[in-house]
A = this chain, B = another copy of it.
Amino acid sequence: MPHAILLAHCPDQPGLVRALASFISENRGNIIQFDQHVDSLEGEFFMRAEWDLEKFVIPRPEIPIFIRALAEPRKMTWSLHFTDERHRLALFVSKDSHCLYDLLSRHESGELDADIPLVVSNHEILRSAAERFGIPFHRMEVTKENKASAEAQQRALMKEHGVDTIVLARYMQVLSDNFACDWANRIINIHHSFLPAFPGAKPYHNAHARGVKIIGSTSHYVTGDLDEGPIIEQDVIRVTHNHTVADLIRQGRDLEKIVLSRAVNWHVQRRVMSFRNRTVIFT
């Protein structure tokens, strides 16, 4: 039996928890999880509710009507999801295989509960990696000159395959502002530094040059501003003077794949809400 998941946020005001909990309970939905957060600085209320539909008296197609009635007077932004609607992910990659293999093996074992209809790459090199796992691989060269048309093709592919979210799994091309904007909060990137330290190119080289004692990795939603989007997850690992740049790159890979997969899993499970460049993560 599927669950419903409601994500909602609105200006903080009295009675919000009661209103939402009452709506679910009075209609005989059994609350599985109910998380709420008030950002007192922004005066914004955030909520994630997950409930069992088994005895829920409102028919599934009509639930949005009721929620709209709750949401409008409260100026609430919301989205409704059902656990039997599988998320569809496109993986964008370049040459590095570690994040791709990590996501594909999680997908195969069922840990990543989403569909992966395709892998897109600007290089040929990872074709066999994708195809080995039975995922169609689309090579699409991207140059300064053809960038606009390549993106048009990418958008067409996304549409054709019904993609919900794009995962940049070490995709080394910068997307256009327009693309990022149209897909706001639906493109997840992994950046190989502890942002906001070392944005842009060659973060491990820069970390080594600065002599940091800890390196990190950051997964974030992509916005028009490079490496400036809302952070979903970060993690770090200790390094020493003994580590060369090559060591940092190698150790960083473990961080990158773990951090990206956590972010993708939370996103797919509808646990992430984004608001003014910050995220609320209901885990």
A152 at interface by CB-CB < 8 Å: no
A97 to B283, CA, bound (A): 25
Stretch at the interface among A22-30, A60-68, A69-77, A78-86: A22-30
Whether A210 pairs with B197 at a CB distance below 8 angstroms is no
A155 to B179, CA, bound (A): 57
A33 at interface by CB-CB < 8 Å: yes
Whether B231 pairs with A279 at a CB distance below 8 angstroms is no
A183 at interface by CB-CB < 8 Å: no
On chain B, the residues within 8 Å of A258 by CB distance are 254, 258
**A43 to B: closest C-beta gap in Å:** 13
A213 at interface by CB-CB < 8 Å: yes
A101 to B224, CA, bound (A): 35
A194 to B194, CA, bound (A): 9
**A271 to B: closest C-beta gap in Å:** 11
A282 closest partner in B (C-beta)? B241
Whether A214 pairs with B241 at a CB distance below 8 angstroms is no
Whether A280 pairs with B132 at a CB distance below 8 angstroms is no
A39 at interface by CB-CB < 8 Å: yes
A105 closest partner in B (C-beta)? B101
Whether A281 pairs with B109 at a CB distance below 8 angstroms is no
Cβ proximity bits A1-34 to B, threshold 8 Å, 1 near / 0 not: 0000000000000111110011011101011111
A209 to B275, CA, bound (A): 12
Cβ proximity bits A182-199 to B, threshold 8 Å, 1 near / 0 not: 000000000000111110
A240 closest partner in B (C-beta)? B281
A212 at interface by CB-CB < 8 Å: yes
Knowing A14-B25, A18-B21, A98-B109, the reply to whether A241 touches B37 (Cβ < 8 A) is yes
A residues 227-283 in Cβ contact with B at 8 Å: 230-236, 238, 240-242, 244-245, 250, 253-254, 258, 261, 277-281, 283
A16 to B24, CA, bound (A): 11
A residues 99-132 in Cβ contact with B at 8 Å: 101-102, 105-106, 108-109, 111, 132
A200 at interface by CB-CB < 8 Å: no
A37 to B227, CA, bound (A): 35
On chain B, the residues within 8 Å of A14 by CB distance are 25, 28, 30-31
Whether B111 pairs with A278 at a CB distance below 8 angstroms is no
